[in-house]
Structure 1
């Protein structure tokens, strides 16, 4: 991103994970550990020589010059003595006493830049892109809510598509062009829980964000790359399963070996392992459907990534 800034292009990062989480942090930070999101995670002997990722984002290049930053993770920006504005019983995690949100705002004001900070959907909706060149949006104490759990009201979180549209409205003002990174990182989190409903719903949220971007850019002048950083131990199976069969339900035949039913969605490891198999059945409420943990072949606390190639 630093080279893009040198060329005069505008830059932005949008994610529904923490803005200091592993993938977005790779765009602006250098760290021996992905977990050094604030100074409390940096070993004491290293704190004088290694900046945490949040501090790199507001002090170092290219972070301090990124035009749009939107995601979660306020806890890594706030000091221990400060309470979160939304989760008021939670404190920040910084040990250096700094409020990096205030520092970000102060830096932009000192440099004479038109900048705004927002922390909920209502504030984001009120942003006038013609009057803002730098935008920081931190919408959650940690990761943002899964789309199915999201409060869409003014005091809740914006969707991934909302953030994408807002980012583009600012970045597209630059006649030299822009780079925008958009991550639907909660797909990964749901798969680690073997929670197929939320994983698939988050994939649809990414599709909605992609369609929002396509509606705002000129595809003949804009390169859009859609890819993933890894795959998951997630698979579909079934014997003569008819078209239109509920994807979250059981196959229409039982196993021809043990006579037990099984879901068409399976995970090769992670939570959900039992012998004999435990399958989601007699689901009576939408929330029960959303919370289903699907069967795994090997017990683990969290499901792992897998080794298949990903497409782009």
Structure 2
């Protein structure tokens, strides 16, 4: 696997993913019971936007850079920007938080976090970025296998009844990645049916996602929601025109909270033809 997220850190896809991730975390911690979070494709946890990789693509300039310049008023976007600011206060003005850092930032002392990363160099950097946080365990290995190994979650002898699983694969195998991701989520739901499962996915050509969406609608969750951000029309196979989050068992009113945030993101980050979309594959009962 050759993918390095450092080239793409802070781009429009990261902005969407991390806004949704924080919204999920905040909804879950609103209840007092401790919870478990699993990040199956964690990366290194902390990125430098002044580094050679990020500078080579310049993608962060059209993502987090543009959003900061817009100073949005939406509360979820302010929540996200506050988290980025906290990361930069701790790690420097060029820092950008990956999902493990955001999980550690958003969750509580009693919560537990497991982060998986297959690339040894990235896993080592991840462990260093979260060193000293006793809530977090870094596992250098396959995140899909971790779904089977770590669910249902436990904290020692205590079984945790609530949790969040973030699946954020690199899609190096393109559409074939959906087979592995949906298979892992299906297995996770069998083991941990009350868990919240979130899968990030890229959007190039809309029609290529139809098989994925049909299969996602059959997942054994109580409800299944798609939340998408398009920064340009979804009619080119040559570039990523947007991305989405599939959320199984979303917290109550997640869609209502996210709708104005994603509309604001489309206005701030998008070109002509940009927009946002919500679609229930299975509505809450």
TM-score band w.r.t. shorter chain: 0.3 to 0.5
More strand per residue: 2
What is the TM-score with the length of structure 1 in the denominator?
Answer: 0.38
**Bigger relative CO (Cα 8 Å, ≥ 6 apart):** 2
- Normalising by structure 2, we get a TM-score of 0.41
Greater fraction helix: 2
